[in-house]
Amino acid sequence: MQIWPGEAYPLGATYDGAGTNFAVFSEAAERVELCLLHDDGSETAVELREVDAFVRHAYLPGIMPGQRYGYRVHGPYNPSRGLRCNSAKLLLDPYARAISGEIEWGESVYGYRFGKPDSRNDQDSAPHTMASVVVNPYFDWGDDRPPRTEYHQTILYEAHVKGLTMLHPDLPDELRGSYAALAHPAIIGHLVELGVTALELMPVHQFVNDHRLVDAGMSNYWGYNTIGFFAPHNSYASWGDRGEQVLEFKTAVKALHEAGIEVILDVVYNHTAEGNHLGPTLSFRGLDNQSYYRLADHPKYYMDTTGTGNSLLMRSPHVLQLIMDSLRYWVTEMRVDGFRFDLAATLARQFHEVDRLSSFFDLVQQDPVVSQVKLIAEPWDVGEGGYQVGNFPPLWTEWNGKYRDTVRDMWRGEPQTIAEFAGRLTGSSDLYQDDGRRPLASINFTTCHDGFTLHDLVSYNEKHNDANGEGNRDGESHNRSWNCGAEGPTDDPDVLALRERQMRNFIATLMLSQGVPMLSHGDEFARTQKGNNNAYCQDNELAWVPWPGGPDADGDGDGDGTLLQFTRAMVALRREHPVFRRRRFFHGRPVRGTHDELTDIAWFTPDGEAMTQEDWEAAHAKALTVFLNGEAISEPGTRGERITDDSFLLMFNASAETLDFMVPADHGRQWQVVVDTAREDGVPPGTGAKHGAGEYITLIGRSLTVLQRPA
């Protein structure tokens, strides 16, 4: 075998058409072996003798795509000093573009065992491991172009690759649960009809099913347990795992782009699958434990602000390089359109405290590639001071947890919620305006993968997580949910009618709010997880989307499709009217140049009177009317023209009682009902009822009505 010196950059295995360059960083290593793995279970070891800035490298002519490989690192093993080199372990390449196989705790995937007997006999041994794969980078993208949908036109749809596609009746069996399924016309057609502009995929970086879950007969379904930051998770590929997963993922992105749908990845750069000091040594720990992880005062242990056992060392230049190289790779080579950063507050912990100006955010800000895509923070972690909603830099948008909590409280009838609800409905200026951000910094959601589904939010007061095997101790206990009068399944028609109305209320509120709305997959079908609010380990029908016409685990849900039709209608209403997706905050002042010089927004009691401070502070207040002035959008169009729209009245009755709402005087003579969640379909067919100024409209308890006045 010929061995040439090769190059120290780029890191990873880089195929150039004639051979492959291998480069790996380790400051702790005394010696590093590249191990080429063969199908008969044997391996060929090549020592990497060339070293530049602690990067060991070599070029091997004739090494082709599909070749599996790993590294063995010879060096000090002293956990009490934070050193964990162990040549008995075959390590994954941190820059591997594909990973083959899976960890089977006790049995080999391919009938042989990678590596040598573990002479150290330490507790973090994984008897069988995965292998890195050399990948062919060439792909015919054709005329692919990123949609580049602006935030004010974006409708996010959070989905799981497998959960979204396993039960669709029109998918071939061999495609279910795969990247290829995302590209199928049945899936893309649904997203297009729904009005989705961006598919936010739960983790697709290669992740690990940890030992505890496997022993319990479960798996890490959600995937927040990353081990390969460049590699698409191999079990979501229908074609194979020797690089086929890369081609299949690219094919899915290309198909979604052709339909005008962006692809956003939920990424987990805050920790890895190696866990705490008792976890397996799979890659980073064995290469250079001190460079990759935040160690505790006693360096045998790890600091953990993620609840997973470890946190990456965000002040390490090698960690920062890894993350930025990974992000750029997914944008330039895999052509994704943005990222949602899991537990992003941990990325800000350059030292111990959260610092939003840490090195990571500086690097993102100046990066000419990463700074140009959508960047969404989950703005909290489990560490001290970790709840940072509203505190991320101006380039970023955020999952707005305060929006979720306030809207839930409003519709379940909590007292003294009206004032904060008004702030969340109008874009959360208290969180984003001071640092120059706009309403579009707020990613609004009422449900997501973590917590109750929309159906369960209105069907359960308590979590029911017994299927997870943790005695119902896991998951959030304070869900701000309300079961509408019965816990779980019921035949009571009044309870069922109220639940359906509440689901319409949540969807309508989401689409009428300033900011960027995000739907959770299956909520448009009233998907249920039977009260499980932490289905991270449920890779089965409990967590998969039950499509109409396909297998349904419980027979519940949106049986006649009315909720789906209502969701489509609300998305269309938002899309057609820019007054619901302003790029600037309301200011509450009269708008000069309009024929009536009304304010851009106004607030009224159900009696049609302007809200006073006393009205805002009243504990019993659970109803209000909002006027949105379509002539006061106050922002230019794409060609500099002045944007105008119809005006709207939003009437919210979150109380249990039927209330009469007066159409406010002096804000328009004639109004037409376009949304009424008291109706089973939620949207009046054809022309809805018309009402004049000073007339009363009756809203039953827990319903909302939208009235429209042409410009």
Residue 255, classed as helix, strand or coil, is: helix
Instruction: Compute how many other C-beta atoms are within 10 angstroms of the C-beta atom of residue 651.
Output: 24
104: in domain: no
> Which residue ranges in the chain fall short of pLDDT 70?
106-127, 350-357, 550-556, 559, 592-596, 634-641, 686-687
Give the number of residues written for the chain. 711
Q: Which of 259, 267, 266 is nearest to 521 (CA)?
A: 266
Q: Which amino acid is at 360?
A: F
- Name the active-site residue from 342, 414, 500, 523: 342
Handedness of CA 58, 61, 64, 70 (dihedral sign): negative
Q: How far apart are CA 563 and CA 679, in angstroms?
A: 11
Structure tokens at 171: 């998918």
Q: How far apart are CA 93 and CA 36, in angstroms?
A: 12
Crossing angle of helices 418-425 and 401-411, in 10° steps, is 130
Q: How far apart are CA 168 and CA 550, in angstroms?
A: 6
Domain count, the chain: 1
Cβ pair 98, 243 in contact under 8 A: yes
Q: Give kind and range of the element (H or E) at residue 212.
A: helix 211-215
Measure Cα distances from 508 to 106, 349, 678 in Å: 51, 37, 12
- Output the pTM of the full model: 0.95
- Name the active-site residue from 378, 420, 539, 600: 378
Residues 13-41 as b/e (b if ≥16 CB within 10 A, e otherwise) read bbbeeebbbbbbbbebbeebbbbbbeeee
Q: What is the domain range of residue 704? A: 587-709
48: in domain: no
Number of H helices, E strands in the chain: 15, 29
Residue 181, classed as helix, strand or coil, is: helix
Q: What is the pLDDT of residue 121?
A: 37
Is 576 one of the catalytic residues? no
Q: What is the DSSP string of 46-70?
A: EE--EEETTEEEEEEET--TT-EEE
629: in domain: yes
Structure tokens at 622: 């659970």
622: in domain: yes
Q: What is the pLDDT of residue 709?
A: 94
Cβ pair 93, 135 in contact under 8 A: no
Q: How far apart are CA 451 and CA 533, in angstroms?
A: 4
262: in domain: no
572: in domain: no
Q: How far apart are CA 514 and CA 584, in angstroms?
A: 9
Q: Which of 25, 69, 23, 96 is nearest to 287 (CA)?
A: 25
Q: What is the pLDDT of residue 550?
A: 65
Q: Where residue 651 sits, what CATH number does that domain have?
A: 2.60.40.1180
Strands 442-444 and 397-399: parallel
Q: What is the pLDDT of residue 546?
A: 96
Cβ pair 99, 37 in contact under 8 A: no
483: in domain: no
Residues 515-532 as b/e (b if ≥16 CB within 10 A, e otherwise) read bbbbbbbbbbbbbbbbbb
Measure Cα distances from 699 to 225, 340, 406, 675 in Å: 47, 38, 21, 12
Structure tokens at 245: 């997963």
Which residues share a beta bridge with 590?
Answer: 599
Q: What is the pLDDT of residue 355?
A: 66
To 5 degrees, how large is the angle CA 217–CA 537–CA 486? 115
Q: What is the pLDDT of residue 591?
A: 75
Is 378 one of the catalytic residues? yes
Measure Cα distances from 671 to 625, 665, 695 in Å: 14, 12, 10
376: in domain: no
Q: What is the pLDDT of residue 358?
A: 77
